Amino acid sequence: MAGVVILTGAGVSAESGLGTFRDVGGLWTRYDLTEVATPEGFARNPALVHDFYNARRANALDAAPNAAHLALARLLDARPDVTLVTQNIDDLHERGGARAVIHMHGQITRARCAACDHRWDAPRVMDRSDACPACARPATRPDIVWFGEMPYHMDRIADALAACDLFVAIGTSGEVYPAAGFVEEAAAFGAETLEINLEPSAPGRFDRVIQGPATEAVPAWVAEVLAT
Ligand code: NAD
């Protein structure tokens, strides 16, 4: 096996205590996504958007990486041909030891100036009126890709998908595009496809499915790969 692309979603961080998108009663269900995760929502009510992401940042910083994050970091160390792409905005892959993570939806630990595009490390609590360290304008936003915005690093991801022999989706529902289309993209270039998920996302979409909680299924799969 040479050339592996792994795509992770909220399910990989669920057992660290970070709610997935659709958790009943979770943070995401208590807010209207069009109000907190779109540029239009931010323009209408920046304070509400910052409140939402301040809460998510606090949750993420207080969470610890789990066995799935640690196993993926071990795999990256052992296999330089593995590319790890995440839709998650938390930093649990990095804190689990992953050497290089492509954050296609941005990072909760980073801030961005909506006026000049400068980026910097986010403080624990942010507000729109925080001055940008580069241009001093009060236009601070989280460095998160919102609905309607272009995900980051799409060229790098497309190259990796075209070159990989195996595509693995872990803990993602496959409902948010463009990430949801990566499996078809990789398969079109001849890659084998594997899904690791608590509940398989769609029958027949992947060549192989491993069903189970990420903290058990991912370390077991990584051990299998490292043994070959
Ligand atoms: P999603 O909420 O749509 O789907 C979560 C998936 O994880 C489901 O398929 C579910 O079956 C699976 N899952 C739940 N618990 C699991 C476990 N213990 N082990 C394995 N799988 C488990 O999330 P998504 O597909 O990542 O897409 C939604 C969007 O939500 C993304 O854009 C992402 O940026 C954002 N999001 C991020 C975080 C985070 O950063 N931790 C959390 C919530 C949502």
Distance from residue 7's CA to the centre of ligand 1 (Å): 11
Ligand 1 centre distance from Cα of residue 10 (Å): 3
What is the whole-number distance in angstroms between the Cα of residue 36 and the centre of ligand 1? Answer: 17
pLDDT of residue 1 exceeding 60: no
Tokens for 144? 């998160």
Residue closest by Cα to atom 30 of ligand 1: 21
Find the DSSP H helices in 81-141.
92-95
Q: Does the bond joining 39 to the residue before it have cis omega, within 30 degrees of 0? A: no
Per-residue model confidence as pLDDT tens digits over 96-134: 999 899 999 999 999 999 999 999 999 999 988 899 999
Q: Which amino acid residue places its CA nearest to atom 4 of ligand 1?
A: 173
Spatial separation of the C-alpha atoms in residues 93 and 84, rounded to whole Å: 9
Distance CA 4, CA 19 (A): 27
Model confidence pTM above 0.85: yes
- Provide CATH code, domain 1-16+66-105+151-228: 3.40.50.1220
Give me the mean pLDDT over the 158-168 stretch: 97
Active-site choice (50, 69, 93, 105): 105
Mutate to test the pocket of ligand 1, among 6, 16, 18, 21 (most ligand atoms within 8 A of CB): 21
CB proximity list for 155: less than 8 A, separation 6 or greater: none
What proportion of the chain, given as a percentage, has pLDDT over 70? 99
Who has greater pLDDT, 163 or 30? Answer: 163
In the prediction, which pLDDT does 2 show?
62
18 vs 24, 34, 62, 108, CA distance in Å? 13, 21, 10, 13
Ligand 1 atom 39 nearest Cα = 88
Domain 19-62+107-144: CATH superfamily is SIR2/SIRT2 'Small Domain' (3.30.1600.10)
> DSSP secondary structure string, 23-43?
-TTSHHHHS-HHHHSSHHHHH
Reply yes or no on whether 93 is catalytic. no
Give the integer Cα–Cα distance in Å for 123 and 66: 24
Q: Domain locations in the chain?
A: 1-16+66-105+151-228, 19-62+107-144
Cβ of 200 closer than 6 Å to ligand 1, yes or no, is no
- What is the Å distance from ligand 1's center to 211 Cα? 15
Going by their DSSP bridges, the two strands 208-211 and 192-197 should be labelled as parallel
pLDDT at residue 64 is higher than 90 = yes
How far apart (Å, rounded) are the C-alpha atoms in residues 217 and 10? 15
- Ligand 1 and 172: CB distance under 6 A: yes
User: Which residue type does 20 have?
Assistant: T
> Would you say the CB of residue 151 lies under 6 angstroms from ligand 1?
no
